[in-house]
Chain A
Amino acid sequence: MRRTLPLVIAFIMGFVMMIQYFIPHPMSQKFYKIMVQQWLIIISIFFYVFAWRSFGIYHINKIKRRKEGWWASVVAFVGVFLMLLSGFGDRIPGAFGHFIYKYFNFDDLYNYMFAPLQATMFSLLAFFIASAAFRAFKARTMEATLLLVTATIVMLGRVPLGASLWKGLPKVVEWILMYPNMAAQRGIMIGVGLGSIATSLKIILGIERSYLGGD
C-alpha cells in the first residue's frame, strides 16, 4: 500500500494528463483546467514545507551541537525573522505596524539587503573565472584549441571593442552562433529532449522512483 499505491497514482495521473492533450472533448478540457488551475497548484503550495524543514533542521542541529560557525545559523534565523516581521508586521494596526512599515519595509529589505547580497555572491564568479583563465584554460589538444579560439572570437565580437577593431567581427560571431553553434546545440537539445522524455515515461511507469524517497 505504501509502495504500490503511490506508483499507481503516478501512473494514472501521468497517463491521463498525457492523453488529455489529444482529446478535445469539453470534459477532457474541463478536467485539464481543474487540474492545472486548481488542484496541482494548491498541492504545490504545500511542498514549500520541504524546503523550510531542510533549512530548519540543518541550522537547528548546528546550533544545538555548537558546531563550528553555529553563530552564523543564528544569523540565518534572524534573517528569516526580519523578513517575516517586515512582511506581516506592517499589517498590525497601530504604532507598531506603522513603525515596521516605516523602518523595516518589506521592499527595502528585499532591495537593499537580499538583492545586493545575492547579486554580490554571484559576482564573485567574475574573479574566479579570470583566475581560471590563465591557470586552467590550456590549449592541450586540437579540440581545446578550437574551443579557446572560438571563445576568443566570441568574447571580442560580442563587445563594442571588437566592432571597433574590425567592422566585420560582429557578423562573423553572429554567423558562428547562428550556424555551427546552433547545429551542435540542436543536436545536444534533441539528445537531452529524448532523455528527459524517457525519464518522464520512467516516472509515469514507476521504473524511476527516486522522487518518492526511501521506504
Chain B
Amino acid sequence: MGFWDRFLKIDRRWVFLIVWIAVVIPLLKPLGLPTHITPPVKKLYDYIDKMEGEDKAVFLSFDFDPSTMPELLPMGVAVIRHCFAKKIPIIVYGGLYPQGVGMAKMAIDMAKTDFPDIKYGRDYVFLGYVPGLYLVILSIGESIQGTFGNDYFGNRLDTLPLTMSIDNYEKIGIVVDLSGGDIPTWWVAFAYQRYGCRIGCGTTAVSAAQYYPYLQTGQFVGMLGGLKGAAEYEELLVRNGIPTGRRTATIGMDAQSVVHLLIILLIILGNIGYFYVRRRERRA
C-alpha cells in the first residue's frame, strides 16, 4: 500500500488530534491578526448607533440555544453593551424557544459588569418565554404587555418605566434577532412586512450566506455572520471607546484562521491522493 493509500485510510482520530492542536495553539499563542469590518456589520452598527437620543428601543431577541452559543452569545453581549453605552433603551427577549432565555440572561450578566449606572426597568427589561413561535412576533405588534404580562422576574410590565412607554413595534427602532436557524425570516415576514419594524440579524455562519437576498432588498438593515461578525462588532465597539470586556469572538479568530488553513490543506491533500490513486488504477 503506497503513501497516498495509507494517507486516505488514516484513522480519523489522528485528524481529530490535529484539529484540536490547530485550535489550542493559537489560543495559547495569539497571532494578533487585525479584524476587517464588512459592510453588513457596519450598517447594523451604524443603525443602532443613530438611535442614541431617540425615544425608541432596541428589541434584542435571543432565538438560539447553547448549541450555537460560541457564535451568537458574543453578538448579544456586544449589542447590549452598545445600547448600555449609548443609553439606548433595550428590551432583551429570551426568544421564541425556551433555551434562549438562559442565553439572554447570561448575556445580560456579562454585559452589565462595566455599566454600574444601568438601571433595570428604566434602561433595560428582560422578557421571558411565551410559546407560539411567530404568533408571539405578531402579538408583540399589538402589545408587549398583552403578550407577556410580566417580565422574566415576575414584575408586571405596566409598572416598569421602559415597557410603560414602549408597548409595540411603533416604539421599537429595530428588532435584532440572534438565531441559528431561519427565525430571522419570520421576523422579516411578520414584524417587518406586517408592522414595518426594521430588522437586524445576527446569525450563525451556516445561515449567513442565505440571508444576503434580505440584505440586498433592505429587509435586513444589517447582518452579523458567525464568529467573524461578532468579532467585527466587538472591533467597532473598541474603535468607538465602548468597553467590551473579554472579546471572546476576537480571541477566537486566530484559531479560526489556522484551522481554516488546515481544512484547506486537508481538502487539497485529499484530492491529490484521490487523483493519484485514480490515475494509478486507470493505468493498471
Please give the residue numbers on chain A whose beta carbons come within 8 Å of chain B beta carbons, in ascending order. 21, 33, 36-37, 40-41, 44-45, 47-48, 107, 110-111, 114-119, 121-123, 126-127, 129-131, 133-135, 137-139, 148, 152, 155-156, 158-164, 170, 174, 177-178, 181-182, 185-186, 188-189
- B15 touches A (CB below 8 Å): yes
On whether the beta carbons of A110 and B38 are closer than 8 Å, the reply is no
Q: Which of B1-52 contact A (CB under 8 A)?
A: 8, 12, 15-16, 18-20, 23, 31, 33-36, 38-39
On whether the beta carbons of A130 and B16 are closer than 8 Å, the reply is yes
On whether the beta carbons of A37 and B143 are closer than 8 Å, the reply is yes
A-B contact pairs, 24 of them (CB 8 A): A37-B142, A41-B135, A44-B133, A48-B131, A114-B66, A115-B106, A122-B67, A134-B267, A137-B267, A137-B271, A138-B274, A139-B271, A152-B264, A158-B205, A158-B260, A159-B257, A159-B260, A161-B258, A163-B36, A174-B39, A178-B212, A182-B215, A185-B209, A188-B210
0 or 1 for each of B247-284: is its CB under 8 Å from A? (1 = yes): 00000011011111111101101110110000000000
On whether the beta carbons of A133 and B66 are closer than 8 Å, the reply is no
Contacts between the two chains (Cβ within 8 Å), count:
160
Q: Which residues of B contact A161 (CB under 8 A)?
A: 31, 33, 257-258, 260-261
- B147 touches A (CB below 8 Å): yes
Docked pose: A174 CA to B38 CA in angstroms: 8
On whether the beta carbons of B139 and A41 are closer than 8 Å, the reply is yes
Docked pose: A14 CA to B282 CA in angstroms: 61
Classify the interface of chain B: helix, strand, loop or mixed: helix
- B150 touches A (CB below 8 Å): no
- B82 touches A (CB below 8 Å): no
Using known A-B contacts A130-B266, A133-B263, A161-B260, determine if residue A122 contacts B34 with beta carbons closer than 8 Å.
Answer: no
- B164 touches A (CB below 8 Å): no
What is the minimal beta-carbon distance from A199 to any residue of chain B, in angstroms? 15
Q: Which residues of A contact B210 (CB under 8 A)?
A: 185, 188-189
Q: Which residues of A contact B19 (CB under 8 A)?
A: 126-127, 130
On whether the beta carbons of A130 and B15 are closer than 8 Å, the reply is yes
Instruction: Beyond A48-B131, A127-B15, A130-B259, list 9 extra A-B contacts (CB 8 Å).
Output: A107-B105, A118-B69, A118-B99, A119-B70, A130-B18, A138-B270, A161-B257, A161-B261, A163-B34
Smallest Cβ-Cβ distance to B15: which chain A residue: A131
Q: Which of B36, B69, B106 contacts A170 (CB 8 A)?
A: B36
Docked pose: A19 CA to B87 CA in angstroms: 41
On whether the beta carbons of A138 and B271 are closer than 8 Å, the reply is yes
Q: Which residues of B contact A170 (CB under 8 A)?
A: 36, 38
Number of interface residues of B (CB under 8 A): 67
Docked pose: A117 CA to B147 CA in angstroms: 32
On whether the beta carbons of B131 and A45 are closer than 8 Å, the reply is yes
Q: Which residues of A contact B105 (CB under 8 A)?
A: 107
Q: Which residues of A contact B262 (CB under 8 A)?
A: 130
On whether the beta carbons of B253 and A37 are closer than 8 Å, the reply is no
Smallest Cβ-Cβ distance to B101: which chain A residue: A110
Docked pose: A182 CA to B38 CA in angstroms: 16
On whether the beta carbons of B270 and A41 are closer than 8 Å, the reply is no
- B213 touches A (CB below 8 Å): yes
Q: Which of A41, A119, A181, A186 contacts B131 (CB 8 A)?
A: A41
Q: Which residues of A contact B39 (CB under 8 A)?
A: 174
On whether the beta carbons of A41 and B132 are closer than 8 Å, the reply is yes
Q: Which residues of B contact A44 (CB under 8 A)?
A: 131-133, 135
On whether the beta carbons of B213 and A189 are closer than 8 Å, the reply is yes
Q: Which of B135-156 contact A (CB under 8 A)?
A: 135-136, 138-139, 142-143, 146-147
Smallest Cβ-Cβ distance to A135: which chain B residue: B270
What is the minimal beta-carbon distance from A31 to any residue of chain B, in angstroms? 12
What is the minimal beta-carbon distance from B148 to any residue of chain A, in angstroms? 10
Q: Which residues of B contact A48 (CB under 8 A)?
A: 131
Using known A-B contacts A138-B274, A181-B212, determine if residue A37 contacts B146 with beta carbons closer than 8 Å.
Answer: yes
Q: Which of A115, A162, A186 contacts B69 (CB 8 A)?
A: A115
Q: Which residues of B contact A160 (CB under 8 A)?
A: 33-36, 253-254, 257
Q: Which of A36, A119, A177, A181 contacts B142 (CB 8 A)?
A: A36
On whether the beta carbons of B16 and A127 are closer than 8 Å, the reply is yes
On whether the beta carbons of B12 and A40 are closer than 8 Å, the reply is no
